[in-house]
Amino acid sequence: MNSEKLETLIGYKFKNNKLLLEALTHRSYINENPAWSLPHNERLEFLGDAVLELIVTEILFNQYPTTAEGQLTALRASLVNYQMLAEVARSLSLEKFLLLSKGEAKDTGRARDVILANAIEAIIGALYLDSGYPDVKEFITRWVMPRLSEVLEKGSYKDAKSLLQEKTQAQQKITPLYKVLEESGPDHKKLFTVGAYLNDDLVAKGRGFSKQDAEVEAAQEALKKLEE
């Protein structure tokens, strides 16, 4: 793996290249390669998640001085969710640089998106440690914030649960209910499957790494079905 190519894509040369390599190291790679000298990227991901949220919050706060807190929160959520971060990762061809086990390397779909999103957060954490706030803000401004125009155009920042409730109350006089159907995965990355119900009818399912995220996805899927 040639990390220099990734540094060229990112537009930043790491002083401590081990931080970048750590950010690219998935837990599964170490399980398969126990002699690997670096830790997996979950600590950097933890740091990067907080740095990303702070910087996106600051940019939105300054860019929209009259916008209410609730809408700013929705805009931020639409920019830092795993689907959007996976798109950012693909724009950087990040899949070519990740260190994964052979099994994880074959995985696709949602699991791959989560791995990509986590790696972006880990890179943000590594950037923050290597250089500090200005350079990591430049990275986020360059690679994450341009997605805002897409979010605004599609209206994807709107709360799907609120939209579903408005729709079902207007059409059927029913308030949607959400129930956890399944919990899986390790404690640090528990995956929830939630069902959206109208009366006793299961309308759609959603999955996410929090109950709230799973409920939102279930609401999105329910809206699609009601529009069919």
Q: Is 42 a catalytic site residue?
A: no
Measured distance CA(52)–CA(144) in Å, rounded:
9
Identify the pLDDT of residue 71: 83
Q: Are 220 and 194 in contact (CB under 8 A)?
A: no
Identify the pLDDT of residue 189: 73
Nearest CA to 180 out of 202, 165, 156, 149 is that of 202
Beta strands in the chain (DSSP E): 177-184, 191-198, 201-208
182 annotated as belonging to a binding site for a ligand: no
Residue 6 burial (10 A CB sphere; 0-12, 13-18, 19+)? buried
Q: Is 107 a catalytic site residue?
A: no
Where are the domain boundaries for CATH 1.10.1520.10 in the chain?
A: 3-154
Where are the domain boundaries for CATH 3.30.160.20 in the chain?
A: 160-227
Identify the pLDDT of residue 53: 95
- Catalytic pick from 22, 113, 121, 217? 121
Measured distance CA(171)–CA(62) in Å, rounded:
39
Q: Are 115 and 26 in contact (CB under 8 A)?
A: yes
pLDDT in tens, the chain (228 residues): 678 999 999 999 999 999 999 999 999 999 899 999 999 999 999 999 999 999 999 999 999 999 988 888 888 988 998 889 999 999 999 999 999 988 777 766 777 888 999 999 999 999 999 999 999 999 999 999 999 998 888 766 667 888 888 889 888 899 999 999 999 887 777 889 999 999 999 999 999 888 888 898 899 899 888 876
Identify the pLDDT of residue 162: 80
Residue 137 burial (10 A CB sphere; 0-12, 13-18, 19+)? buried
Q: Which CATH number fits domain 3-154: 3.30.70.260, 2.60.120.10, 1.10.1520.10, 3.90.400.10?
A: 1.10.1520.10
118 annotated as belonging to a binding site for a ligand: yes
Q: Which CATH number fits domain 160-227: 3.60.15.10, 3.40.50.970, 3.30.160.20, 3.90.480.20?
A: 3.30.160.20
- Catalytic pick from 49, 104, 113, 213? 49
- DSSP for residue 64: -
Identify the pLDDT of residue 74: 82
